Amino acid sequence: MVSDWTEQNRLDPLAVARSLAEDFSTTVIERDAAGVTPLLERNCLRHSGLLKLIIPSSAGGWGESWILAMQISREFAKVDSSIAHIYSYHNLGVIIPYLFGTVQQRDYYYQETIQQNWFWCNALNPLDHNLKLSREGGIYRLNGFKTFCSGAKDSDILPTMATEEASGKQVIAILPTRRAGIELQNNWDNIGQRQTDSGSVVFNNVLVKPEEILEDQTQVNQPFRTIRACLTQLNLANIYLGIALGALDSAKLYTRHCTRPWPTAGVPTAGDDPYILQRYGQWWAGLEAATALCDRAAERLQTAWDRSWALSSEERAACALAIASAKVVTHQVGLDVTSGIFEAMGARSSSRCYGFDQFWRNLRTFTLHDPIDYKIKALGDWVLNERLPKPDFYL
């Protein structure tokens, strides 16, 4: 049963996200250092109703836009990009049956997510071909492993991509995370995004029911079938932007209250130091540009999403180019801001007690998701040769 509080939250999801982010900010430094699964925070997300955000209202969800979903990713990332990561990957997961499954599968997973308050994770990783699907009679089995399975621990539903042994084609299966034979390895110990549980998962003779395999073949060649790559890439750009905005906000407070002007500056406060002002001015200009690009790309993405199966190849390509521009700029500006804030704050700001390093560590880790050089290449190919990008898992 949906609580009254959840129904009230539906009126302003962004305000709910901001309130949760404020709560999460009080423990983020300690949780980041520990690198543990954020169970309390995940349960807060469950209780908030935000897991229903992107599910259509016709299916009983909140029916909100991707524009709002991206804004929420950004808000969470300002204080806790691990939470932004696992929450946004839930949104990207819950629409997988809609894009790749039958109408019956789509309706089932939407409705069960609402009724059971399922939290989805991501174990697709299309570059990893170490998971095989075999069939004996009417029984399917999964064997192998997947790396980078973000948010798998404490999730309810685990979508994964495997190679079908008989045909060699890639298939998507939607499984309960606690299905017998699924073994979460708990081996995520990276420098950033430390609470995303993005380690590997082993599948040991895991039973897969026929209805858990997404096999709609009616619209395989439609451009809309590839729109999830656009969603993923813009989500990353918004998380990068949120991390950088959070770093700037935190650095501003420290600079105002703790940083001392350099003796030869001849000014009474750090806020009057011309070189500190120069840095903040450059960062602000870059972040303003990044924000504008992300917002523009979100509008184009929403238009593409609303076009649904009528989306053309040209419309899809224009959307991908707008997203690539946003991602390139957020990547570059974000790394500049998160590493540069120490120059403005001074030596004492490097103390671990402040946790300012988490912004750079998280961004540096997450920007390795896929090479930015290939986004720049696609943009250059469009600008110089007017060649539209071809859809793939990352563009």
What residue spans define the domains of the chain?
Answer: 4-116, 131-214, 223-385
Contact 347, 260 (CB under 8 A): no
If you average pLDDT over residues 265-286, what whole number do you get?
A: 96
Residue 189, amino acid = D
Question: Please, which pLDDT band fits residue 2 given cuts at 50, 70 and 90?
Answer: very low
119 sits in the region (left: phi over 0; alpha: psi -120 to 50; else beta) called beta
* 36 within 8 A of 51, measured Cβ to Cβ: no
This prediction has a pTM of 0.96
- The CATH number of 223-385 is 1.20.140.10
Q: What does the pLDDT read at residue 268? A: 95
Tens of pLDDT along 64-120?
Answer: 999 999 999 999 999 999 999 999 999 999 999 999 999 999 999 999 999 999 999
CATH superfamily, domain 131-214, is Butyryl-CoA Dehydrogenase, subunit A, domain 2 (2.40.110.10)
8 Å CB contact between 123 and 152: yes
Distance CA 157, CA 193 (A): 21
Cβ-in-10-Å burial (0-12, 13-18, 19+) of 178 comes to exposed
Residue pLDDT, tens place only, 288-347: 999 999 999 999 999 999 999 999 999 999 999 999 999 999 999 999 999 999 999 999
Domain 4-116 top-level CATH class: mainly alpha
What are the tokens at 140? 């399917």
pLDDT at 357 over 70: yes
Average pLDDT over residues 11-26: 97
Query: Is 278 a residue whose pLDDT tops 90?
Result: yes
The pLDDT, as a whole number, for residue 5 is: 60
> Rounded mean pLDDT of the chain?
96
CA gap 23, 163 in Å, rounded: 42
pLDDT in tens, 283-301: 999 999 999 999 999 999 9
What pLDDT, on a 0 to 100 scale, did the predictor assign at position 6? 67
Residue 126 has pLDDT above 80, yes or no: yes
Residue 3 — very low, low, confident or very high, per pLDDT cuts 50/70/90? very low
Which band of pLDDT confidence, cut at 50, 70 and 90, is reported for residue 1? very low
- Burial of 85-124, coded b for 16+ CB within 10 Å and e otherwise, reads bbbbbbbbbbbbbbbbbeeebbeebbeebbeebbbbbbbb
Sign for the CA dihedral angle at 109, 101, 228, 141 comes to positive
CA angle 83, 294, 356 (to 5 degrees): 45
Tell me: pLDDT of 381 over 80: yes
Condensed to tens digits (0 to 9), the pLDDT of residues 215-228 reads 877 777 899 999 99
User: Is 202 a residue whose pLDDT tops 50?
Assistant: yes
Q: Is residue 88 within 8 Å of residue 17, measured between CB atoms?
A: no
